Structure 1
Amino acid sequence: MNKMFKWMGICVVLVSFMFFPSKEKAAGEGMGKSTWLWNTVEIIENKEEIVGFLKVHGVNEVYLQVNPSVEKEHYHQFIEMANLENIHVYALDGAPKWATVNGRSSLIAFFDWLEAYQLEANESQRFTGVHLDVEPYLLSGWTSAYGKTVLNYQKMVMEAVDRSDSLQLPLGMDIPFWFDEKSYNNEFGKGNLAHWVIGKTDEVGVMAYRDQAVGPNGIIELIRNEMDYALFAGKKVKAGVETAPSSEGDFLTFHEEGEGFMLGELARVDAEYGTYSSYKGIAVHHYGSWKVLSE
């Protein structure tokens, strides 16, 4: 009888680990910061200034947009310099049209360029991962042909997953905080769109563009569903915030409040989710506007 209860206890523990994953981070695993660098030509003349800014502001990942018109030697030099400061560089690109049949060529061109670059570069000059910002909801089809647009978006995500896997690079995708309110019902099955993207990629950046951490419309609550699902799925989430001016409302950005206020609010987000193994830190959009904010 005692043996039976012993085995029952072990089974309960195993099941609890399966269905209720631990929130605790592994020892030594910290919270990071990342930012987007869209104006790629800046790495030609300003690489030292950029890396210096990233280092001072505690950034350990930068999403660098791939611009094929910039010579590869500049990518080599910038990535080497960033790596010396333990800053990882992700290849960044994306546009709404990527979630269309005609836009597939842009996705292919991006990954073809990246594949050639990785083959030619030395280890210290290579990208660490892929980060895509596609935003399919900016297409007219998001309202006029939602089902078709979502399906094309999912097909794009799967192709990006396959190409990233072939390069042995982790894939991150930007998604809005309200994707958890959107559904899909097609050849990929039926379910919650945010959960689907989180499940297929290695990490997501949730664009929780608000200037307050707490409250029902604050950053903490806006990413809670994604944080909980990523915890269950064993994936990573970054909380994305805005620093550029916004015509949609002052509450969407820290542009008016300044960097000091922003850092205080972001510390609250870190405090709330710092023990979650799914939490990877903050993503500040973007380098150019953040730099202005800090001056």
Structure 2
Amino acid sequence: MQHHAKLQSTRNPIGSRWRIAGPLVAAAWLGMLMQSGTQADPKRSAWMWTQSSDSFGAANVLGDPAKEALVRDRFDSWNFDRIYTSVGNLPLSDPEVLANWNATLSAQGVRSQMLLGANTWIYPANRTDLLARVQTRLLNFNASRTNPAERLTGLHLDIEPQGLTEWSSSSAAEKKALLYHLRDTYADVRSHMDQFGGADVPIYADLPVWFDSSSSIGWDDAAERDAWFADISDSLAGISLMAFERGSLSSIVSGVQWEIDNLPIEVRVGLNVKEIGPGDTFDDLAELESLALQIEQHYGDEIGGIDYQPFYTYMDVAPEPVKNADFDASGRVDGGDFLIWQRGYGIAASATLGDGDANANGAVNGYDLEAWRATLGASSIGLTAVPEPSAMLLQVGLPLIALAGRAWHVQRAR
């Protein structure tokens, strides 16, 4: 089982002489820190499908600097440690767009995985197409990037035999045969990647919570079931269990416990954001988020995290993150708040407002500094949201840094 290590806090105490120079130094640091922030207690992710009909489908985000900046800001606020992105033809048609996407995500501690999905790939006759996509869009792309941060960090396969038209009419034995096709597909992809330059690229996959059920699949016995899961664990680094149509912690536990207890790979829990609405699994987003929190509290490091399906719907329904940069609760955002932020910078988990955490994600990083900059001089009364960061954030040159330095030396000389 993979466990996420928490980063150690990096504290930098500073004297009162920095109260004058602080805002200037903060502005100069902002661009750099937005590229070097740490992620808070990583645990969330989402499936980012192409979905050209939605403004936050991958087809409409990648290559749009403003949307990319907005999405990265949300990733930070929501504690995303990775994203499964359907990159389409970008590795071939516009590789620089994908390279920049990967690099900016890497800079804030978010892993960029390529998402591929087609249920018919389980059939041997169709695997040639799958392997060709893996080769041209992932392996060749990664090999062309000299900067490791620009590479895709994983392959995420969404191949669901239960989604095939023939599944519903298949016997238990026929369904089991389809699962063996799925196992072999994973193995073929792993073998191909190992052979052609992708041995260091992990593979993750999506599974429903009931593949371990003898009544659903028709396993001969527990030994056969266990052997199948052991086989796929040889090919995969982790799975996302699609715990859909389950609205309570007890129903989630009953669906995922066996895999958590028995698999030697990372297990994450997937929730379906499309199941929100009157008469559906969740009445509103608050119910879904409450369940996600219960799952995290129940399992802790036993699971890798929570995945949302799909990202574009989550982006549409989730409220804009509330940000408050009045870290000292003085009623005003000023230089004193910058001092608090600087002392707390680098805390990666369990940070509070008093540590400099403006977006309540448990970390203190460049996004919190951006919230401070955007509201500097404002009263904290009634603050609910901060303007989203622009694509360039700030353009601050060396003269400003030098000015800040002179202000500090003047204070030292007194």
Normalised-by-shorter TM-score class? 0.7 to 0.9
1:158-204, Cα deviation, whole Å (9 max, x unpaired): 0122234441111111000011113567xxx9334455434541100
- Measure how far apart 1:71 and its partner are: 1.4
Query: Conserved in 2, the CA contact under 8 Å of 1:213 and 1:219?
Result: yes
> Who is 2:70 aligned against?
49
1:255-290, Cα deviation, whole Å (9 max, x unpaired): x411x33222111111111142xx101111121010
| Aligned counterparts, 1:1-295, within 5 A | 28=6, 30-39=41-50, 40-41=58-59, 42-45=61-64, 46-69=67-90, 70-113=93-136, 114-121=138-145, 122-142=147-167, 143=170, 145-165=174-194, 166-167=197-198, 168-181=200-213, 182=217, 190-192=224-226, 193-194=228-229, 196-210=231-245, 212-215=247-250, 218-230=251-263, 233=264, 235-245=265-275, 250-251=280-281, 254=282, 256-258=283-285, 260-276=286-302, 279-295=303-319
Letter in 2 for 1:289: T
- Measure how far apart 1:132 and its partner are: 0.5
Cα distance between partner residues in 2 of 1:174 and 1:27: 24
Bigger Cα displacement from structure 2, 80-89 vs 150-159: 150-159
Query: Conserved in 2, the CA contact under 8 Å of 1:210 and 1:219?
Result: no
Instruction: Mark the CA change 1:164 to 1:274 in structure 2 (over 3 Å): closer, same or farther.
Output: farther
Cα distance between partner residues in 2 of 1:100 and 1:58: 37
Give the match's secondary structure for 1:108.
helix
Q: How many residues are matched?
A: 258
Instruction: Mark the CA change 1:177 to 1:194 in structure 2 (over 3 Å): closer, same or farther.
Output: farther
Give the match's secondary structure for 1:66.
coil
Unaligned runs of 5+ in 1: 1-22
Instruction: Mark the CA change 1:94 to 1:250 in structure 2 (over 3 Å): closer, same or farther.
Output: same
> Who is 1:4 aligned against?
none
Letter in 2 for 1:67: G
Cα distance between partner residues in 2 of 1:139 and 1:146: 11
Give the match's secondary structure for 2:45.
strand
Cα distance between partner residues in 2 of 1:83 and 1:289: 24
Query: Conserved in 1, the CA contact under 8 Å of 2:240 and 2:268?
Result: yes
- Measure how far apart 1:221 and its partner are: 2.3
Query: Conserved in 2, the CA contact under 8 Å of 1:89 and 1:129?
Result: yes
Identity over aligned residues, as a percent? Answer: 19
Cα distance between partner residues in 1 of 2:183 and 2:2: 31
What TM-score do the two structures reach when normalised by structure 2? 0.57
1:209-261, Cα deviation, whole Å (9 max, x unpaired): 1452323xx2222111111112xx2x1100000102589x722xx4x411x33
1:46-87, Cα deviation, whole Å (9 max, x unpaired): 221221221111111001113115511110111111111111
Kindly report the root-mean-square deviation, in angstroms, between the aligned alpha carbons of the 2 structures: 2.6
Letter in 1 for 2:180: L
Instruction: Mark the CA change 1:250 to 1:146 in structure 2 (over 3 Å): closer, same or farther.
Output: same
Query: Conserved in 2, the CA contact under 8 Å of 1:66 and 1:92?
Result: yes
Give the match's secondary structure for 2:298.
helix
Give the match's secondary structure for 2:274.
coil
Instruction: Mark the CA change 1:31 to 1:226 in structure 2 (over 3 Å): closer, same or farther.
Output: farther
Cα distance between partner residues in 1 of 2:148 and 2:4: 27
Cα distance between partner residues in 1 of 2:210 and 2:175: 15
Unaligned runs of 5+ in 2: 8-40, 51-57, 320-414
Instruction: Mark the CA change 1:196 to 1:57 in structure 2 (over 3 Å): closer, same or farther.
Output: same
Letter in 2 for 1:162: S
> Which has a greater percent of strand?
1
